[in-house]
Amino acid sequence: MLLITSCKKELSDYYAENDDVRVASDSSSCTPSGIFSKNLTQTEESYTIDYDSIRYGFAKQLLFTSTPLSKNITYIKTKWKDSVYLWNKDTVVVDKLTKLVKRMKIIPSSPKEYTLDIRMSYDSNYLSKRLIYLNGDTVPSFESVYSYEGNRQLKKIELRFVPDKSLVYEAIFEYDSQYLIKPWLYTFTDFFNLYSHLLGFNFGNRPVHLIKKITQTFHSNYESNAIGTHIIDFSRYKLSKDNYVLQYACKGIRLNSTSYFYQNVEIKYTCK
* pLDDT tens-place string over residues 4-31: 323 333 333 445 555 556 776 665 678 9
Given this model, what pLDDT does residue 50 score? 94
pLDDT in tens, 193-223: 898 899 999 999 999 999 999 999 999 865 5
Amino acid at residue number 167: L
Domain boundaries, the chain: 31-271
> Considering the entire predicted model, what is its pTM?
0.87
- Among 18-27, 78-87, 165-174, 244-253, the least confident range: 18-27
Q: What is the pLDDT of residue 156?
A: 97
How far, in Å, CA of 162 to CA of 166, rounded?
7
Q: What is the pLDDT of residue 4?
A: 33
- Cα 263 from chain centre: 16
Q: Of 2-11, 50-59, 69-78, 83-92, where does mean pLDDT reach its minimum?
A: 2-11
* Closest to 42 in 3D by CA, of 13, 70, 18, 73: 70
Q: Which of 74, 71, 46, 81 is nearest to 59 (CA)?
A: 74
For residue 28, report the phi and psi dihedrals to the nearest 5 degrees.
-105, 160
| CATH code that applies to domain 31-271 | 2.40.160.150
Residues 6+ apart with CB under 8 A from 91: 80, 84, 85, 104, 105, 107
Encode 231-259: b = buried (16+ Cβ within 10 Å), e = exposed: ebebebbbbbeebbbbbbbbebeebebbb
Q: Which is nearest to 272 in space by CA: 29, 92, 104, 32?
A: 29
Task: Tell which wins on pLDDT, 110 or 174.
Answer: 174
pLDDT of residue 115: 95
Provide the mean pLDDT of the chain: 86
Mean pLDDT of 254-272: 84
146 has pLDDT over 50: yes
